[in-house]
Amino acid sequence: MQTEEEILKIKKVKNTAVRTVVLRHLLSQEKAQSLKDIENALAYTDRSSIFRTLKTFEENKVIHSIEDGSGMTKYAVCAKGCNCDPKDLHYHFYCTNCDKTFCLFDVPIPKIQLPENFKQQQANMVVKGLCDNCNK
Amino acid sequence: MQTEEEILKIKKVKNTAVRTVVLRHLLSQEKAQSLKDIENALAYTDRSSIFRTLKTFEENKVIHSIEDGSGMTKYAVCAKGCNCDPKDLHYHFYCTNCDKTFCLFDVPIPKIQLPENFKQQQANMVVKGLCDNCNK
DNA sequence: GATTTACTGCAACTCGATTGCAAAGATTAC
DNA sequence: GTAATCTTTGCAATCGAGTTGCAGTAAATC
Ligand SMILES: [Mn+2]
Ligand SMILES: [Mn+2]
Ligand SMILES: [Zn+2]
Ligand SMILES: [Zn+2]
């Protein structure tokens, strides 16, 4: 596992106090985090600073965002070497019981045969159901 | 193509003036519609009535909703025989240029191999890029 | 050290979604 | 048919995630 400093250096994002603590929080979580999640976890960091940090991270491929339909965009740290282009994309799983959203890094997304002349740039693939912990 | 009345009868949803006009509008569009889209198209129908109509339609599988990441949930009429279970799902395509969202009824979603003990109930699969009209 | 640029915190604001409530309409019970 | 009951509708108010303006602070550059 890389440190926050290493990741930011590789992605050419200047290291600041807020950025370090936001990235550290994201790295420490097994599930994708919403702005609200991060705000709650970092009691003394302002929401808009976290918001702008997330935008910066996303623009620089430090993290990727997930629209899981919960009403809040979730964020997760990109895998090492990820460029967020179609070949790097992966499914996400949203548990309808416990509200956790996971990156399914191990399940590849197949190449999707689009209609004539459509061009894929990105994708947001969310499977919804029960996670292992809730499916009992 | 079935009429609004036929669809509502099949799906056991009582026919009302608002429901007929909302469903008619959805049927007339090639792209998925947001609440705002519908509100704009139906100048004399109240937003909250449309909103509740969409909820009723979705509960009764008259329509399905799409979270395309545009910030507004989109709605499209279900295909004949659709039960909105995993086998009936299809990809959606969101054009990042013209903001249109399409149902890709003809492209099947493969069965996704989830981690041990995860259970799929639903899915929201959005491919983003340029539609045929914008990819020139 | 002065100047310029980037980051942060606070408050205000936007806008899609949602709800409470009372009036209007439809259905059912007498 | 009329009264009682349930459903739908319209309006206004509210919620909450996301976003922005601005001024103060910190960092980088000259
Ligand atoms: Mn992910
Ligand atoms: Mn669809
Ligand atoms: Zn769960
Ligand atoms: Zn387009």
Percent of chain B with pLDDT over 70: 100
- Cα B22 to Cα B20: distance, rounded to the nearest angstrom: 6
Domain membership of residue A136 (yes or no) is no
* pLDDT band (50, 70, 90) for residue B26: very high
Q: In this complex, how many residue pairs, one in chain A and one in chain B, have their CB atoms less than 8 Å apart? A: 106
How far B100 CA sits from the closest chain A CA (Å)?
12
Q: Is A115 on the interface with B (CB under 8 A)?
A: yes
Domain membership of residue A12 (yes or no) is yes
Domain membership of residue B135 (yes or no) is no
Cα-to-chain-centroid distance, residue A11: 15
Which pair of tokens denotes residue A68? 């899981």
> Tell me, in Å, how far CA of A121 is from C1' of D26?
38
Q: What confidence tens digit (pLDDT) does each residue in A6-56 have?
A: 999 999 999 999 999 999 999 999 999 999 999 999 989 999 999 999 999
Residue A21 domain boundaries: 4-129
**pLDDT score at A136:** 85
pLDDT exceeds 80 at position B68: yes
The total number of structural domains in chain A stands at 1
Which residues from A are below 8 Å from B87, CB to CB? none
Taking CA atoms, B120 is separated from A109, B47, B117, in Å, by 16, 33, 10
* pLDDT band (50, 70, 90) for residue B72: very high
Domain membership of residue B20 (yes or no) is yes
Q: What confidence tens digit (pLDDT) does each residue in A44-101 have?
A: 999 999 999 999 999 999 999 999 999 999 999 999 999 999 999 999 999 999 999 9
Domain membership of residue B136 (yes or no) is no
- Is the pLDDT higher at B20 or at A2? B20
Task: State the greatest distance between any 2 C-alpha atoms of chain B, in Å, as a whole number.
Answer: 51
Domain membership of residue A134 (yes or no) is no
Cα-to-chain-centroid distance, residue A122: 14
CATH of the domain at A18: 1.10.10.10
Identify protein residues whose C-beta is within 7 angstroms of any atom in strand C.
A 14, 16-19, 44-49, 52-53, 56, 71; B 14, 16, 34-36, 47-48, 51-52, 71-73
Report yes or no: B29 and B13 within 8 Å, Cβ to Cβ: no
